[in-house]
Chain A
Amino acid sequence: MKARLSDDSCARALGSAQIAAELIARNIEVELVGSLGMHWAEPLLQLEEDDSVFSFGNVTASAVGRLVESVEPNDDPSSSPHFLQPIETQPFLAGQQRLVFDNAGVQHPLTLPVPTQLERILESDPTEIIDAIQTSGLRGRGGAGFPAHIKWRTVAETESDQKYIVCNADEGDSGTFSDRMIMEADPFKLIEGMVAAGYATEATSGIIYLRSEYPVALEYLNKAIELAYENNILGKNLLNSNFSFDLEVFVGAGAYICGEETSLLESLEGKRGQIRFKPPLPAIEGLFGKPTLVHNVITLASVPGIFDIGPAEYGSLGVGASTGTMPFQISGNVKQGGLIEIPFGATVRSLIEDYGQGTFSGRPFRTVQIGGPLGAYLSERELDTPLTYEAMAEIGAGIGHGGLVVFDDTVDLREQAEYAFLFCEIESCGKCTPCRIGSVRGKETMRRFVDGPDIRAVQLVEDLCDVMEQASLCQMGGMTPIPVRSAMQRFPEDFSRIRR
């Protein structure tokens, strides 16, 4: 008998280590894999006996003995409360198109990419690689959605003795975990993407800025980088080409603002993570003043898939200028939380209802916040909006990092709006006044609505939001008004209710 067990943070946080111990104690060979993204079923265990594979979800250590017995020839595994439909026919996975997460959950996370797309990439001219990125229409997956090829070309065309590829793995938005998942499930995907970006832009040094809240990702990244050096995927004359590229991991120290690229660069230089004025753009003057390509994890990890299916094919996926696939993440009060990689264009409703299967509590749906703490709270009637950059912008929202956080009818949007300001207060770098002071004033003002309607407070919040939006130096202060305003506009009843 063989076992396959998730070793993702989610699985570990739900006791997968004890499950592995139980299996090993029974002399069962355990293959650790990343997560398939079916987090609602974690820890997920697959048992293989005589060429049949049986899947079990929400497994506990105490259930292992019984599950092992149940796959014996004379027993019936489907009678177990942990029994899952076979992975191949899981509706949660069937509709997905996985280009970034194709290997996630189906192989050991440290399986070398053979063959690697890099061999082909390193044989091409660097400008051809950038042209291919342009053809693919790839846009930054971290939140801004900026066309990737423009950054790549700018770095490539800026003369310098030293250039850097910096991967932003400071995934701080609540409701997002795709960066963590790929680093834990298939770290080579990211390494390949970074090497490709280095080759295209003539950068020879890569750094992954990883948040300290991700210890499992750190474990896998370190091992993957070591293996990549051993196998000449990193280092001098990699894959017998003329190109050399070094890569290291840099661990952050708990600061949400370091997900902002200039703040991240300051932190990488060993300083306080205070944001920089732009311009100059990091692509021209970035880390230590050198041209630096800063991309989030998924943007870089999308690169191998683009070359796998071809840039034109990739560009044909999605809708309009929102091309390719996006790993959406659904969480919060939802029955089936997890990762869903699909082309842009599905509706918000399909993610919540088809994949998420409604609320976890079983209570009525009330709102979904899309794109992290700086994202908008949407109402029920906006659920048919397609998930594209353009359609979301039309309703005053954004895709951000692709996280959807679902709330049932017990949510109080006044509390959420106050929290938006509070979070900004806690995580502001303090450099500009609208963000540093505005967040505190906003939080205080929000508390006035506890006592019921307050028209003067509404005006104050409006003014404050205007100032923060227009005068903040970065998106932290500039976008905090988005959750606040969306909550007040769409759920005014929560700001006029008398609570005490």
Chain B
Amino acid sequence: MTSEEIQTLIQPFVERIGGLMHALRHITLEYGYIDSGFIPAIADVFNLSQAEIRGVISFYHDFRTEPPAKHRVRICQAEACQALGTRKLISQVEEHLNLSMGQASKDGAVELKPVYCLGLCSVGPSMEIDGQLIGRASLDHVRGVIE
């Protein structure tokens, strides 16, 4: 990706309500993350300071400046899933992946992140692997994707 590509991608959002949020979301959808190197280009398109762009990026869980791992596991940590044993599930997954919650493996193969509610509270515990929602989740679901 180049600064020009980024600017072409986000130009349509300049006039939209909350355009910067749309722009950051679409960069994330397209590239998986927002490379810090493109912050000046984004700031230029929106006529904002780089600090303002960084401020918005750092506020939201969805925006990241590091590339995502190949496989992305998010496990719900919120109350309804707690009531169905998500704490135990998390420690099983942590052990299986040899990672702590919030970490990514050094080889970039897998990352494990918390999420606070996927709206699947009635079929918990729930998780999301590479964007796929999973209800009544167990370690087997992780094993199925990541050995």
Contact = CB atoms under 8 A, between A and B. Distances in A.
Secondary structure at chain A's binding surface: helix, strand, loop or mixed? mixed
Interface in B116-135: 116-124, 126, 131, 133-135
Nearest to A213: B118
A253 B80 contact: no
Contacts of A269: 17-18
Contacts of A9: 118-120, 133
Contacts of A268: 17-18, 21
B59 A255 contact: yes
Contact of A254 (B62, B76, B121): B62
B146 interface: no
Interface stretch (B1-9, B65-73, B81-89, B104-112): B81-89
Contacts of B63: 253
A333 B119 contact: no
A332 B19 contact: no
Nearest to B78: A174
A373 interface: yes
A14 interface: yes
Nearest to A35: B122
Contact of A253 (B61, B122, B126): B61
B135 A13 contact: yes
Contacts of A274: 59
A149 interface: no
B61 A369 contact: no
Nearest to A330: B122
B119 A180 contact: yes
Interface string A243-257: 000001011111110
Given A39-B122, A332-B121, A416-B79, A270 B62 contact: no
Given A267-B21, A269-B18, A419-B79, A253 B60 contact: yes
Contacts of A267: 18, 21
B55 interface: yes
Contact of B122 (A10, A251, A254): A10
A136 to B, nearest CB: 27
B60 A255 contact: yes
Interface string A312-348: 0000000000000000011111100111000000000
Nearest to A10: B123
A74 B116 CA distance: 49
Report, as a range, how many residues of chain B touch the other chain. Answer: 35 or more
Interface in A208-257: 212-216, 248, 250-256
A272 B56 contact: yes
Interface string A365-408: 00001000100000000000000000000000000000101111
Contact of B79 (A175, A254, A426, A427): A175
A272 B119 contact: no
A301 B19 CA distance: 27
Nearest to B126: A13
A411 B83 contact: yes
B120 A329 contact: no
A42 B122 CA distance: 10
A176 B121 contact: yes
Contact of B123 (A13, A172, A215, A273): A13
A253 B34 CA distance: 13
A255 B24 CA distance: 15
Nearest to B55: A272
Interface of A: 9-10, 12-14, 39-40, 42, 171-177, 180, 207, 212-216, 248, 250-256, 267-274, 287, 329-334, 337-339, 360, 369, 373, 403, 405-408, 411, 416, 419, 423, 426-427, 429
Q: Which 5 A-B pairs have the closest CB atoms?
A: A337-B122, A174-B78, A254-B61, A332-B83, A253-B60
22 contacts: A10-B123, A10-B135, A40-B123, A174-B76, A175-B78, A175-B80, A176-B121, A177-B119, A213-B118, A251-B21, A251-B22, A255-B59, A269-B17, A272-B55, A272-B56, A329-B121, A329-B122, A330-B122, A332-B82, A332-B121, A337-B122, A416-B79
